[in-house]
Amino acid sequence: MKRFLAILLCLSMLVGVMAGCNGGGTSSTSGTTDTSSTADTGDSEASGTEASASETSEDGVTNKGTTLPIVNEPVTLNVVKERHMLDTTESYNEKAAWANITEETGITIEWTELAAGTAAERIPLMLSSGDLPDVFWAALSDAQVLQNESNLFAMEDYMEDFAPNSLATYEQLGVDWKEIATTPSGHVFGFLGRYESLYENTGDGIQIINKAWLDKVGMDVPTTLDEFTEVLRAFKEKDPNGNGQADEIPYCFSEDMWCAAITNTMGWWGIGNGDGGSSTAASRNFSIRDGKVLGNVNTDEYRQYLEYHHKLYSEGLMDQEGFSQNTEVFSTKIKSGQVGTYFSWTALEYLTSEQEKDWVVVPPIQAIEGVDPIANGEVDRSTIQKNKWVITTSCEHPEAAMRLWDYQARDVESKMTVAMGEKGKLWDEYEDGSGYYFVVPEDTTPEFTFEHMKYTYGVVNDPPLMTKEETPKNDGEISPSAALRDSMIDQVDEWFIPKEDQLPQVYVSTEAIDRRTFMETDLFAHIKEFRAQAVINGFTDDEWNNYVSQLDAYGYQDWLQWYQDMMDGTLE
C-alpha cells in the first residue's frame, strides 16, 4: 500500500497538484504593484526509501533530518519578502537559490514580494488583520515578534529533527546562540541569518570625495574643518566637472538614503555611537562612553555641529534638497557627475568600476581640539541577525517550512547562493578548496552596477547564518574591486566604537519596547524638526534653549535611562 501511495505522489507532482499550507496565496509585489509569483514546479527527487512514522513529522508529511525530498506529499508555502530597490528580477523565482526549489525539495513557494520601502506599512497591516503568510522572511522586527508571539510557531523543540544544518552552524559560533535567539518567554521564533561577523559590515556610511575634482582645483583631501570648507568652496566656484555650468553640488546628502544622512558628520564633534544608519536611528541620539549612556543632542558639541552645517548650507556648499530628496534623486546627481563628496557604502553603489577609481576616503575630521572624532562603525561588530525566517501559526506544515530554510543552510555554497547568486559570478572557491572569495565583475555599467548585481542575483544580507570561517574573503589579489569596502574600513576603523561600549544583542520585553516607543514618537520628531530648521535657517540662543528644554519635556532623560538599563542588564 505504501509503495502504491509513493507512485501516486510522483504522479500528482508531475501534474502540479498542490496542497497549500494555508489554503491559498496572497499577492506579491514586484516593483510598485502586487503580482503573484509561484516557484517553478517539477518532479521531486525520490528519497529511495519509505519513511516510517518515527522519521517524519507527526502528520507524516515532513521527513526529519536531511532526507530528500523534504515532504512526502506536495506542499505549498506562502513566503513574504520585501524586495530591494536595486533588484532587477521580476520574481524571486528567477534567483538561482529558488529557481528549482520544488524539484529539489517537493515544496512549492508562493511568493508575496513587497515593493521596496513598503514593508513598514504592509507588515503591520498583515499582523493586525490576522491574514498571515506561512513565513516572514527577514520581515519582522524584534518588537513585532514579541508582540505577536501567539501567532508565531515556537521551533525550539523541533530544531534537532528539522533543522540539523542550522544547529550545526550555531554551535560553531563564538557566542551562545540561544541568548540571541530566545525571547524573554523562553521561545525561539526565528532562525538566525547573515554573517557572524563581516569586516565590511563593521562600518556604515563612509565619506568619499572626488579625487579628480581635488586634482583639478589643486587641493588635497581635507583633514580639518577649515580645509573641508575651503575644498567645498573650490568645488562650487571652479567648475571641477568641466561642463561650463555652475551645477556642482559640493557636499551631497539625503535623509532618505540610509548611509548618506546629514547626521553622519556628528562623529567629527565626538558625539554619536558609531551607527551610520538613518537620521532617526536611536544611536544618533546617545553616546556610550565607559559603559555610561550619555545624551548627544542637547550638548554644546551638537550645537557646534548644527552651526557649522548651517554655515555650509547658507553658502550653498551643501545640497539644498538634502532634507527632502529621495534616494533616486540623490543617486541621479552622483551618476550625472555633479557631486564632490558624500557618505556611501562604496562608490560602486551608483558608479562603474572605472568611475569608482576617482573616489577616495575622507577619514573623520577632528572638529574640536582634544576631542577624538568617531567614525560610523563598531569594532568587531556582530552581524548576526535574528528573525530571518519566522513561521506563523497559519502554516499547516511548520516542520516543512523549517526544513526548507535548513535545506538552504546545508553548506557554504548553498548559503552563498541565497546571498549572492550562483557560484562563479559574485563569489567563487579557491582552487585548492581552502575557502571562498568575493568577486566584483569588471563589466558593471551605470545601469547595472555591482550593487544591482548583488541584489538581483541574491538577497545579500538575508541568507542562513554563516560563521566567520565560512564567510568568503575579499581577496584584493584576485578581485581588487571586491576588496574595496574592506580597504575603506581599514582607513576609518581606528575611530570605531569599542566593543565594551556597544549595546548587547538581546531581546527586550514587549513592555519595555512599548515604553521606549511611546517616548520616541514625539521625541524623535522634535529632534529631527529642529535639526532641519537649524541647518536651513540657523537659530538664536533663545531657540536653542527652548529646544533643549523641550527635549526634557518629551522625556529625553527617561529615554536615555532606558538604554542605560539595557546596557546594565537591568531593563524590565
Between 412-420 and 398-408, two packed helices, what is the crossing angle to 10 degrees? 90
Query: What's residue 32's pLDDT?
Result: 34
> Is residue 384 helix, strand or coil?
strand
317: cell is 556648499
What is residue 507's predicted lDDT score, i.e. its pLDDT?
85
Given a cut of 60, whether residue 555 has pLDDT beyond it is: yes
- The whole-angstrom separation of Cα 346 and Cα 192 is 27
Q: Which pLDDT value is given to residue 68?
A: 96
Q: Quick one: pLDDT at residue 352?
A: 86
- State the cell numbers at 511: 513592555
Mean per-residue pLDDT over the chain, rounded: 89
Q: What is the pLDDT of residue 274?
A: 64
SS3 content of the chain, % helix, strand, coil (to 5): 40, 15, 45
- Grid cell, residue 60, equals 507524516
Give the model's pLDDT for residue 39.
44
Taking 80 as the threshold, does the pLDDT of residue 48 lie above it? no
Q: Of 127, 135, 130, whose CA–CA distance to 153 is shortest?
A: 135
pLDDT of amino acid 444:
85
Helix 541-553 / helix 510-537 crossing angle, nearest 10 deg = 170
Confidence of residue 53 (pLDDT cuts 50, 70, 90): low
- Tens digits of residue pLDDT in 165-182: 999 999 999 889 998 999
- Binned at pLDDT 50, 70 and 90, residue 5 comes out as very low
CA distance 234 to 39: 55
**135-144 mean pLDDT:** 95
| pLDDT, mean of residues 275-296 | 78
Percent pLDDT > 70 in the chain is 89
The percentage of residues in the chain with a pLDDT greater than 90, rounded to a whole number, is 77
d(CA 353, CA 465): 29
The predicted structure's pLDDT at residue 431: 95
Would you state the pLDDT for residue 49?
42
- The answer for residues whose C-beta is within 8 angstroms of residue 344's C-beta and 6 or more apart is 205, 206, 207, 208, 259, 260
First and final CA of the chain: distance in angstroms? 57
Q: How does pLDDT run across 441-479, given as a tens digit for each residue?
A: 888 888 898 889 999 999 999 999 999 999 999 998 988
What radius of gyration do the chain's Cα atoms show? 25
Pick from 30-39, 197-206, 276-285 the range whose average pLDDT is largest: 197-206
Residue 48 DSSP code: S
Burial of 357 (0-12, 13-18, 19+ CB in 10 A): middle
Residue 296 and residue 303: Cα distance in Å, rounded? 10
- Is the pLDDT score of 270 beyond 60? yes
pLDDT score for 7: 39
Q: What's the pLDDT score for residue 450?
A: 87
Residue 30 has pLDDT above 80, yes or no: no
Say what the pLDDT of residue 249 is. 98
Contact 379, 499 (CB under 8 A): yes
Give the Cα-Cα-Cα angle 139, 143, 146 (nearest 5 degrees). 100
Distance in angstroms (rounded) separating the CA atoms of residues 51 and 62: 10
Q: What angle do CA 352, 353, 358 make, to 5 degrees?
A: 90
pLDDT of residue 353 exceeding 70, the answer is yes
Position 29 pLDDT exceeds 60 = no
pLDDT at 52: 52
Q: pTM score, two decimals?
A: 0.72
Distance of alpha carbon 571 from alpha carbon 512, whole angstroms: 7
pLDDT tens digits, one per residue of 356-369:
999 999 999 999 99
- b/e map of 54-76 (b: 16 or more CB within 10 Å)? ebbbeeebbbbeebbbbbbbbbb
Give 359's contacts (C-beta < 8 A, 6+ positions apart).
Answer: 208, 209, 210, 211, 347, 351
The residue ranking higher by pLDDT, 24 or 533, is 533
Residue 556 has pLDDT above 90, yes or no: yes
The residue-averaged pLDDT of 35-55 equals 46
Task: Sort 39 into a burial class: Cβ within 10 Å, 0-12 / 13-18 / 19+.
Answer: buried
Question: Which residues, in sequence order, are CB contacts of 63 under 8 Å at separation 6+?
Answer: 47, 51, 55, 56, 69, 70, 71, 72, 403
Query: Whole-angstrom Cα distance, residue 319 to residue 358?
Result: 21
Mean pLDDT of 217-244: 98
Distance, CA of 449 to CA of 86 (rounded, Å):
9
Helix (H) or strand (E) holding 251, with range, is strand 249-251
Phi first, then psi: give them for residue 177, nearest 5 degrees.
Answer: -65, -30
- The pLDDT value given to residue 2: 35
Burial class (CB in 10 A: 0-12, 13-18, 19+), 537: exposed
Cell numbers representing residue 98 in the block = 529558488
The DSSP bridge pattern shows strands 135-137 and 384-391 to be antiparallel
Between CA 126 and CA 26 the distance in angstroms is 11
Q: Please state whether the peptide bond connecting residue 69 to the residue before it is cis, i.e. omega within 30 degrees of 0.
A: yes
pLDDT at 18: 37
Closest listed residue to residue 517, CA positions, set 131, 114, 194, 124: 124
Higher pLDDT, 389 or 14: 389
Q: What is the mean pLDDT of residues 508-537?
A: 93
* Phi, psi dihedral angles at 98 (to 5 degrees): -120, -10
- The rounded distance, in Å, linking the Cα atoms of 528 and 514 is 21
pLDDT at 331: 96
- Average pLDDT value for residue range 76-100: 96
State residue 519's pLDDT score.
94
Contact of 192 with 182, CB cutoff 8 Å: no
Quick one: pLDDT at residue 367?
A: 98
Task: Check if the beta carbon of residue 232 is closer than 8 Å to that of residue 250.
Answer: yes
**Mean of the pLDDT values across residues 179-200?**
93
pLDDT (tens digit per residue) in 405-419 = 999 999 999 999 999
Higher pLDDT, 383 or 187: 187
C-alpha cell at 93: 523565482
What is the rounded (10 degree) CA torsion for 183, 189, 194, 200?
Answer: -20
Lowest-confidence region among 41-55, 92-106, 322-336: 41-55
